[in-house]
Structure 1
């Protein structure tokens, strides 16, 4: 079995598209599966050299932090140079973004100061309201148009070669797995670090199936052939999921109902064993800085607030520049407070070690993780809780016909 086939067979594929760019679009293309996830499909048999390239770039098969003396590493949250909460001082950006609009504010600053020529990011597909496309943006208006979360499959690295070949600088905004794969690709392609000086990510709870979004649309009572616009979040914090018909009428659902009850149960298996839901390989990572009620995030609608984490010195320098320009309002945050805002991310990384053990008990290949403190985190956790996670994964694998 070739490397690509092994990755897919064992449920290790994120669907980022890195392999398609690294090997070549004539050999690998990303396709939507019947289960509603993006996966690489061979267009012709892969040579041994191609399979080796897949192994080198795939963040689904392997993740590794190299030792660093310049950045401290927190076992739960990864490399941290600075930690803050804040929001965009542009009221429109703050309102339309998923939380405080900070990622949009960063992108706008980079464009308006000409630090980069364009931003490569994910946006709604104009021909498929629940779907995504990867696009370059060069103006504030384009960044704002694409603001907000997109809880559906995306493969932003699948066409990366088309943008690298322009020989113009750009910032990349993507899921943690996308950025991790981009770092792996950079080891053998020097153009990536030269042309992409800033790699930006966000906390990610997983990629739901396309079927999840369609289930939301159905629950809202909107016919698919009448749907012209679908926004997962934004226009407030956390914002409503909104489906707009051709006649302009709109149906909406609160965040807890759409994400909590429909989308999150449809998250792909690979995300359940991901130790990097927090963008550890990015320069800057942002997240919802949820207020807490009884130990759980409070989803009451209010003005947006982002958690802002610089993971590299260059990311910290960029944030300092944007703050000094008056585009961000920020205040420092103690590391211990992240757990109150993001309890799911805190627990998920602790569960990965025993979930991988369950995979091995069922004779599945597992990802290779190095430098992520997974064993240490497991040893700090409740044995009963770990056993529940082990059994939950084992039973899921037993019932699954495919991953």
Structure 2
């Protein structure tokens, strides 16, 4: 049945939903790339909370979604910005999420890495920032998960220059029990991280970042780059010490970066692989056979959806991710912690539905159509 979807100019356009999904089945573990999906959290829609309240999480649905990702061979990057870290999910909620997800990973044999930050500390001295990082690292290591050392808003505000980043990260890496993933999140994802690594000049910042890695190569499993700049990622990738992986976090250029070139490739740690999980897994298995054109043929068509979800203000991409999870039947509602379901317009959400439906991402297209129709009606679109 035809849906009438709102366009950016306020007009309605007819759209005919597809009737059959693409078929995705779990398969063998990946052999050529290490791939993580940064996973969203499912809010408890019946909790009596306000946007300023601690997050109320539906733990059963949240863990079920992680099992879905693991079933397709993807690793889970837990308690990252996709999980609304610092945008509705506070440290207490993140710590509980880490413990529960790590325990679930052990049960099903899934790979998991978890975010380590300083968000229990809105601001502080360098000593307090170091202690906050240490507290979170201890929680992740005690849970039995790999650590992803995330960028710190508090450190961005307190650091006087590159030397403070070298000191804080060096201290943390020296005490890490196992190699970690370092995460460089650009200001398009979080404006408070402008000037990270001690400079707004990205060349200078890259130099400091590489200096941290070079001083502790045995403690760095890899780096996650989220700057939405493919050229810069490739340049940095080629400068990494031997054995240190590059995990692309570029939700605009991921097919080409994962495919790589004659000098190397990127692994992946991506928020877009939350809604793309089964399709992305199938594409990587094709890549495992050496079929780069086949890999690109599967993944390239998804870039339009990803660029739409991550369009500025990029930090609100989570709203589209959760919309698609609801439409796909992974959760029973379109509510988000912190009320973030209101962060994108109806035309934006309608376009996200259309692009995802065209790709065949919904296991039950009829359910997705019915849910989209319900959302439209709540906004007064009844045609």
Under a length normalisation based on structure 2, what TM-score does the superposition of the two structures give?
Answer: 0.29
Instruction: Tell me the TM-score normalised to structure 1 length.
Output: 0.28
Higher strand proportion, which one?
A: 1
Considering fraction of residues, name the structure with more helix.
2
